[in-house]
Amino acid sequence: MRVPLSWLKEYVDIEIPAELLAEKLTAAGLEVAHLDYLGVPQTMVEGLRYPKSDHLVWDNQRILLGKILEVMPHPNADRLVLAQVEIGGGVIEQCVTGAPNLFEFKGAGLLSSPLWTAFAAEGAEVWDGHSDEPKRMILKEKPLRGIPNRSMVCSEKELGLSGEHEGIILMREQPHDASGKPFAPGTPLSEVLGDIVLEIEFTPNLARAISIYGVARETAAILDKELRPPPFDVLMEGATIDGKVTVTITEPELNPRFTFALLENTTVKPSPEWMQRRLTLVGQRPINNLVDVTNYITFEIGQPLHAFDYDKLKARAGGKAPHIITRLPKPGETLLTLDGQNRVLDAHNILVCDEEGVLGLGGVMGGSDSEIDENTKTVLLEAAGWNFINVRRTMMTQKLHTEAGYRFSRGVHPSQALLGVMRGIELMRVTGGGTVAKEIYDNYPLPPETVVVKLPTSEIFRILGVKMSAHEAQNLLRRGGFLVEAQGDVLHVEVPDWRMDIGTGVIGEADLVEEIARIYGYDAIPDTIIADEMPPQWANAKFQREEAIRDALAALGLREIVSYRFTAPEREALLTAPGMPSVLPEGAYVTLANPISPEKSVLRKSILTGLLEAARLNARYAERQFTFEIGAVYLEHAGQDLPDEPRRLGLLITGKRNDPAWMGTDSGAMDFYDLKGILEDLFKALHLSGVTYSRAMEGSFHPGRSAQVNVNGKTLGVFGEIHPQVAAAFELEGAVLAADFDLAAVISVMNELYTAQPLPLTPAVQQDVALVVKEETTNAEVEAVIRKAGGQLLKAAQLFDVYRGDPVPMGFKSMAYSVTYQTDERTLTEAEANKIREKIVKLAERELGAALRG
Amino acid sequence: MTDTLESLLGEAQGALDAAKSSEALRAWELQFLGKKGRVIEAVRSVGTMPKEERAAYGKRANEIKVALEAAYAEREESIKAAELAQNLEAGEIDVTLPGRPVNRGGLHPSTHTLRDFYRIWSTMGFQVYHSREVEDDDTNFTLLNFPPHHPAREMQDTIFTTKPNVILRTHTSPGQIRGMRELGENGTKPIRIILPGMCYRYEQITARSEVQFNQVEGLCIGKNIHMTDLKGTIAEFAKAMFGPQAKVRFRASYFPFTEPSMEVDVECFLCGGQGCRVCKYAGWLEIAGSGMVHPVVLQNGGYDPKAWSGFAFGMGPERITMLKHGINDIRYFWANDLRFLEQF
C-alpha cells in the first residue's frame, strides 16, 4: 500500500527523516519496499544504506505555486493559449501553453475564481513531457509562434508526479497547509505538493495496519508518540433513519454486524482537491465525491464502505422502506457484479440482498442494480463486519480481488463499521451537501468478546531470554494501545479491538510476548549460545552413505545433475522400447491438479528421463557426458493417501571415451564396458562384496548389452546400453550407457567395517593361461572354473585378452587370463604353479570343452 | 698365465673407454664383471692354476678386478653426468602445451551448499532429518497453524494433486511436525535437527522464481530455549558460512508457525555492507526466515507449550549459492547444462 508521509503526519508527529522511519517500520515488520519521492530531496541518514533515488528534485527558487488569473487566446495559434500566472510579490508571468484543460477558460477575461497550478521559471529543471523515455530538460527562453516564452505551467509528468501529460496541474481551490492556512502564490511547490510515499508490504497478520491511520498507529507505537485519530463526529439534522431501512442478518457468524447511515438531498460532484490528491497518491482514481469518500475511508481507517442509491432500493421495494437481508445463496443464484461479470454463486458466498434479489457479494463487491450514479440524491451508506476466512474463500472461488475484499479477508473488527459509517457519511455531507438522518441503523447480533490475556512476566524471559520488569513490559504494550494492569508478576492485558491477531490463553501469551519484543526492538535482544542440554546424537547411516555415493561418483569423473521432479506420462512412456512391457513401476502417477505446464503434469516414476533429457540438451555442446542423479521417484501406493518416495541412483555416460588432445587419446565411442568399468570402481569404493552380473531384460535397454547387478541375492539395479529406439525417442545419437539403481538397495549392502587385507609375506607367482572356448561361454564361467581349480593358492585371475580368428576356429574364441598364485605359508615354486595351471586346463576341458591355446 | 690376465685387462680397459652410454656400460659390466663375466671367471679360475702360480695369479686377478671395478665406477659416474647434462639440455619441451585431459567429476552447486549447511549445523548439534515431499494439507498447513482458508496460506502458492488434501510440500516445515512426533517421544525429549529437501510452489519459472527449490529447515526444542539463543545460533552460523566478519540483523516478520517471527539479513558479503547491485544498495541480504516455535505447533508436535520452547529457521540453499557465486538466474539450477555445472 502507498502511504503518503503528508497524510500519515495528520495522525502522528514524525520528526525523523522518512528514510529512518522506513527503516524502523521495516524492522517492526511493516516492510517498506520503496520510497517514492515527489519533488523533495532524499535525505542521507548516517549508518543507513539505500539506493540513490534519481527522481526530480523541485528547485525551490523556480518551481512555485502559481495562480492563473486569466487565460488569453494566442494571436497566432488556435491550439495555444497565454496563461497569466501570478507567482508572488505581485509578479505576473505569461506562459504559452497548449494545455487542453485551460481551453475552457480561454478569453473569459479575468477568472472569477482563479486556478492554481505548478509554475516553473526559466532555468528550472523538469522532465521532458514530450519524451517517451525519462529525459530531463532546463527551461530556456524560446518564443512560441511569435510570442516570447521563458517559463511554463507544468503537467504531472513534467514534475515527476505521474505519467499524466494530457493537461497541466490545475487546482480549483487555493491549497492550504495541514493547519488550514492557505499557501500564497509563489510558495515553493515542494511545500504544497512535495511528498514522500512509503510503499509498504503487509504480511497477513498486519490486517490492522492496512490503512493510513493503521500505519500511523504502528508508527506511534514504534516511535513512542501520541496518536491523533481522525474526527468521527457527524452533523445529523435529518429525520430519524428509523423505519427507512431494516436489515435481517441470517448468518451472524459470517456477518456479525451491519450498519447504515442515510444522507438525503445531496448532490454528486467532484471531491475537494485535498481528497482527490490523497486518493491519487495512494493510487485511486478520483471519480465523484460519493465514490471517493468510500475509497477514502477504506484507505484512511481501513473500513470499506458501500454506498447504495436509496431511491433505487426503494423503487425495488415497490416504494416501501427497503429490507436488506444478508444470507447465503439459493441454488443456482447469480449476481451481476460491478465489474460487469455475471457470477454463479458458491454455497459459502455471503450475500447482501433485498427482497427482490441479490445486491452484492458481502465484503467483496457490490452489484450493479443499486449503485449510486451521478443523479443520486439519497445515499444509503453501508459499513458492515464480515468473517475474514469466508471473505477470503469467496475471493478465491470467485477469483475476485478488490480493495474491500483485501481488507475484509485479512480481518476488520466489526467495531470499525460504526466508525467508518460515521466518518463516511459526514464526509459525504461536507463534500456534497444534504442532510444526514438522525441515528445510525445498527444491527449487531454478534459482537466479539473483548480479549483479555493474563501474561506472567516469567513467560517473557522463557520465550525471549530477556529479563524484563512488569513495569517495562506494561509500558511497551501500552504503546501498542493495550490496556495493561500489573497484578504482581502477572500482566492483565485487555486487547484493543483492532488487534484481531491476538489470541487467547497460551496463544495470546505468545502473541503478547511477540508484541513486547517487536516494540522493544529485535536488535536490542542480545545473542546467547544455547545452554540447554544437547539432545542425543544418532548415526544417520542412510544419509551418510548417500553422500558417500555422491563423493565416489564425483571421484570417478561423473557430474551430479538435479532434474525437475515433474514430468509428463508421455515423456516417461518413451523409456520403454516399442513392443516391450513397460519399465515403469505399476500404479497411478502422482498427478498435479494445477500443473504449471503440460510437460510438468505429474511427478516422475523414473530417474532416467531427466538424465536422458539432460543428455539431449548437452549433446549440443558436449562431445562426451558423464552424469548422475540421486533423488526420489514417486509411486502411488494402493490403500495409502501419500505416495512412496523411494530414492533412485541414475547414471548416464555417452560420447567419446576421452577428450581429444594434442598428444592423441583413445577417442572412440564409449560402450557397455566403459560404464561397467565405472560401476566396478564404484562398487569397490563402496566396499560391496559378492557383486554379480547377469543378463537383463529391461525395456529401456539393449537386450544384448545390459546387465542386472546383484549382491547376495539382492538386485541393485540395471545398467547397459540404452535401447536404440529409446535413445532415438529422446533424440540421442550413438551409444548411450545408463544405469538405474535402487538407492536403498545399494545403501543396504554398503559396508564401512570392511576388513583391510594384510600385505603378503611371500612373493607371488604369475602365469598366463589362454583357453580356447566356445563363443557362448562367458567370462564368468571361465573365471569360475579357474577359481575352482586354483583353490586356496589362487589369488587373482584377470582376463587380459579375448581373441577371435586364425588359428582359433570359427565359433570359438581365445580368452587369456593372467593368473596369480600366492600363499603366506611358503614361497611357491614354478613347478607348483605349473601343476595348478594344469588343473585349470583339465577342469576347463571337462566343464567348458575348452582347450589350452598352443 | 698372468699374460692372459694382462691382455684381459687391456681388452677390458679398451672396451670400457669405448663405452659411451649407460647401455654400453651395462653390456661391458655383464661381459667383464657380471656373475659370468670374464674377469670374475678369471678370478674364479685360480683353482685351476698350477699350485706354484696360484698365489701370483690370484693376487693379480684380484688386483685387476679391483682396478676394473674402480674404473667402471668412475666411468659410470662420468657417463651418468654426461647423460644427465644431455637430458637436461635436449629434454626441453613446450611447457605451454596443454596437459593430458583428466575426467573430473563434481557435485551439483546445491549439494555443495547443502553440505556447508550440514557441516556447520552439525557442529552445533543439529542432525539431518529427512521428511517426505508429497504431503497432506494438514501437516503442511493446518498443524503448522495455517487454518483452512486462512490468508496466511496466500504466502505460499500451492501445487495440489488430484487427490483431495494431498499436495506437494510448499516448505520443509511439515517435517517439523513429523520430526517432533518421531523423535520427541511424546514431547519428552529435546530435539535439534535440520531438515533439508526439495519444496514446491505454484510459481512461474523466471530468473527469480522456481517451481521447485531446496530448503533447509532447522528446529531446536528444549526446556530452556530462548529467542536470544536463536539470535546467537544464527549469528554463529552466519560467521561459519560467510566468514568471521559476518554481521546479521533481525527484522520482525510473520510466519504462522513461529512467534515471534523474524527475517534474518546478513551484511552483504560482496560489498561489505557498502551497498552494491546484488544487495540492491541496502547493504543487507535476506538469508533466512526464523522464529520461536508457535505454541500451537509445539502442541501439535506433542509438546506442552508451557514447559517447552524452541526455535526454527529456514534457508534456501539455491539463494545462498546464487549470492555466493554471483548467479543471477535461478533457472540454471535444474536446467542441467554441463557448462554451468562444471564450474562447481
A779: domain CATH number is: 3.30.70.380
Task: List chain B domain ranges.
Answer: 2-90, 109-341
Distance of residue A528 Cα from the nearest chain B Cα, in angstroms: 5
**Distance separating alpha carbons of residues A236 and A239, to the nearest angstrom:** 9
Is there a single domain that holds both residue A834 and residue A686?
no
Is there a single domain that holds both residue A376 and residue A263?
yes
CATH of the domain at A149: 2.40.50.140
Please, which residues have CB within 8 angstroms of residue A753's CB and are 6 or more apart in sequence?
none
Whole-angstrom Cα Rg for chain B? 40
**Distance separating alpha carbons of residues A617 and A654, to the nearest angstrom:** 13
Across the A:B interface, residue pairs with CB atoms under 8 Å apart total 275
Best residue in B262, B338, B340, B344 for a mutation probing chain A (most A CBs within 10 Å): B338
Query: In this complex, is the C-beta atom of B343 within 8 Å of any C-beta atom belonging to chain A?
Result: no
Is there a single domain that holds both residue A218 and residue A295?
no
Distance of residue B241 Cα from the nearest chain A Cα, in angstroms: 17
**Distance separating alpha carbons of residues A113 and A68, to the nearest angstrom:** 9
In a domain? residue A534: no
Residue A646: cis peptide before it, omega within 30 degrees of 0: no
CB distance B281–A49 less than 8 Å? Answer: yes
Is there a single domain that holds both residue A501 and residue A580?
no
What are A147's strand-pairing partners?
Answer: A144
Best residue in B96, B113, B149 for a mutation probing chain A (most A CBs within 10 Å): B149
Q: Residue A406 phi/psi, 5° resolution?
A: -55, -45
CB distance A557–B225 less than 8 Å? Answer: no
Please name the residues between 142 and 161 in chain B that touch chain A, using a CB distance below 8 Å: 147-152, 154-155, 159-161
Is there a single domain that holds both residue A98 and residue A168?
yes
Please name the residues between 24 and 43 in chain B that touch chain A, using a CB distance below 8 Å: none
pLDDT of residue A94: 95
**Residues in chain A within 8 Å Cβ distance of B106:** 554, 559-560
Please, which residues have CB within 8 angstroms of residue A794's CB and are 6 or more apart in sequence?
A786, A787, A819, A820, A821, A836
In a domain? residue A530: no
Whole-angstrom Cα Rg for chain A? 42
Is there a single domain that holds both residue A272 and residue A209?
no
CB distance B111–A550 less than 8 Å? Answer: yes
**Distance separating alpha carbons of residues A489 and A505, to the nearest angstrom:** 17
Is there a single domain that holds both residue A698 and residue A571?
yes
Distance of residue B323 Cα from the nearest chain A Cα, in angstroms: 19
Summarised one tens digit per residue, pLDDT across range A18-64 is 999 999 999 999 999 999 999 999 999 988 888 888 999 999 999 99
Q: Which domain holds residue A436?
A: 236-443
Q: How high is the ipTM of this complex?
A: 0.90
Out of A514, A526, A543, closest to residue B228 by CB: A526
Out of B97, B202, B250, closest to residue A594 by CB: B202
Query: In this complex, is the C-beta atom of B94 within 8 Å of any C-beta atom belonging to chain A?
Result: no
In a domain? residue A50: yes
Cβ(A480)–Cβ(A498) below 8 Å: no
> Which strands form A812-821's sheet, in the order they lie side by side?
A794-803, A812-821, A765-774, A851-852
**Residues in chain B within 8 Å Cβ distance of A626:** 103, 105
Cell numbers describing residue A668: 572412440
Q: Is the pLDDT of residue B238 over 70?
A: yes
Q: Which residue of A has its CA nearest to B276?
A: A51
Query: In this complex, is the C-beta atom of B235 within 8 Å of any C-beta atom belonging to chain A?
Result: yes
Summarised one tens digit per residue, pLDDT across range B111-136 is 999 999 999 999 999 999 999 999 99
pLDDT of residue A513: 97
CB distance A49–B212 less than 8 Å? Answer: no
Nearest to B292 by CA among A525, A307, A723: A525
CB distance B136–A642 less than 8 Å? Answer: yes
Cβ(A696)–Cβ(A718) below 8 Å: yes
**Distance separating alpha carbons of residues A55 and A159, to the nearest angstrom:** 9
- How far CA A185 is from CA of A83, A175, A732, in Å, comes to 15, 10, 78
Is there a single domain that holds both residue A563 and residue A693?
yes
**Residues in chain A within 8 Å Cβ distance of B344:** none
Q: Which residue of B has its CA nearest to A540?
A: B128
**Residues in chain A within 8 Å Cβ distance of B154:** 204, 392
Cell numbers describing residue B104: 573430473
Q: Which residue of B has its CA nearest to A506?
A: B295
CB distance B296–A507 less than 8 Å? Answer: yes
CB distance A527–B261 less than 8 Å? Answer: no
Distance of residue A164 Cα from the nearest chain B Cα, in angstroms: 29
Is there a single domain that holds both residue A390 and residue A273?
yes
CB distance A561–B130 less than 8 Å? Answer: no
CB distance A560–B130 less than 8 Å? Answer: no
- How far CA A357 is from CA of A326, A328, B183, in Å, comes to 11, 12, 57
Which of A443, A464, A487 is the last residue in one of the domains?
A443
CB distance B160–A592 less than 8 Å? Answer: yes
Summarised one tens digit per residue, pLDDT across range B55-98 is 888 888 888 889 989 999 999 999 999 888 888 888 788 999 99
CATH of the domain at A409: 3.50.40.10
| Strands (DSSP E) found in A599-734 | 602-603, 624-632, 647-655, 691-695, 701-711, 714-722
Please, which residues have CB within 8 angstroms of residue B175's CB and are 6 or more apart in sequence?
B129, B130, B131, B195, B197, B217
**Residues in chain A within 8 Å Cβ distance of B155:** 203-204
**Residues in chain B within 8 Å Cβ distance of A538:** 127
Query: In this complex, is the C-beta atom of B294 within 8 Å of any C-beta atom belonging to chain A?
Result: yes
Q: Which residue of A has its CA nearest to B167?
A: A592
Q: Which helix (H) or strand (E) holds A267?
A: none
**Residues in chain A within 8 Å Cβ distance of B183:** 535
CB distance A463–B227 less than 8 Å? Answer: yes
Is there a single domain that holds both residue A429 and residue A490?
no
Query: Which residue stretches of chain A have pLDDT < 70?
Result: none
Query: In this complex, is the C-beta atom of B189 within 8 Å of any C-beta atom belonging to chain A?
Result: yes
Please, which residues have CB within 8 angstroms of residue A697's CB and are 6 or more apart in sequence?
A703, A706
CB distance A645–B133 less than 8 Å? Answer: yes
pLDDT of residue B1: 60
Between A390-404, B164-178, B265-279, the lowest mean confidence (pLDDT) is in B265-279
Kindly state the average pLDDT of the residues B263-272: 91
CB distance A645–B229 less than 8 Å? Answer: no
**Distance separating alpha carbons of residues A286 and A293, to the nearest angstrom:** 10
Q: What's the whole-model pTM score?
A: 0.88
**Distance separating alpha carbons of residues A259 and A84, to the nearest angstrom:** 50
How large is the greatest C-alpha to C-alpha distance in chain A, in angstroms? 133
**Residues in chain A within 8 Å Cβ distance of B250:** 522-523, 525
Cell numbers describing residue A258: 451491519
Q: Residue A111 phi/psi, 5° resolution?
A: -75, 135
CB distance B151–A528 less than 8 Å? Answer: no
pLDDT of residue A425: 98
Q: Which CATH architecture has domain B109-341?
A: 2-Layer Sandwich (3.30)
**Residues in chain A within 8 Å Cβ distance of B261:** 514
Distance of residue B193 Cα from the nearest chain A Cα, in angstroms: 10
**Distance separating alpha carbons of residues A661 and B98, to the nearest angstrom:** 8
Q: Which residue of A has its CA nearest to B157?
A: A594
Burial status of residue A164 (CB atoms within 10 A of its CB: 0-12, 13-18, 19 or more)? middle
Query: In this complex, is the C-beta atom of B115 within 8 Å of any C-beta atom belonging to chain A?
Result: yes
A734: left (phi over 0), alpha (psi -120 to 50) or beta: left
Distance of residue B50 Cα from the nearest chain A Cα, in angstroms: 42
Exposure string over A524-534, b if 16+ CB within 10 A, otherwise e: ebebbebebee
* Share of residues in chain A with pLDDT > 70 (%): 100
What are B216's strand-pairing partners?
Answer: B196, B315
Q: Which residue of B has its CA nearest to A590?
A: B161
In a domain? residue A663: yes
Please name the residues between 248 and 287 in chain B that touch chain A, using a CB distance below 8 Å: 249-254, 259-262, 273-275, 280-284
Cβ(A97)–Cβ(A152) below 8 Å: yes
In a domain? residue A754: no
Q: Which residue of B has its CA nearest to A411?
A: B151
CB distance A528–B232 less than 8 Å? Answer: yes
Is there a single domain that holds both residue A218 and residue A257?
no
- How far CA A198 is from CA of A4, A210, A517, A820, B155, in Å, comes to 6, 13, 24, 82, 22
Is there a single domain that holds both residue A367 and residue A436?
yes
Q: How many domains does chain A have?
A: 6
Summarised one tens digit per residue, pLDDT across range B130-160 is 999 999 999 999 999 998 888 888 788 999 9
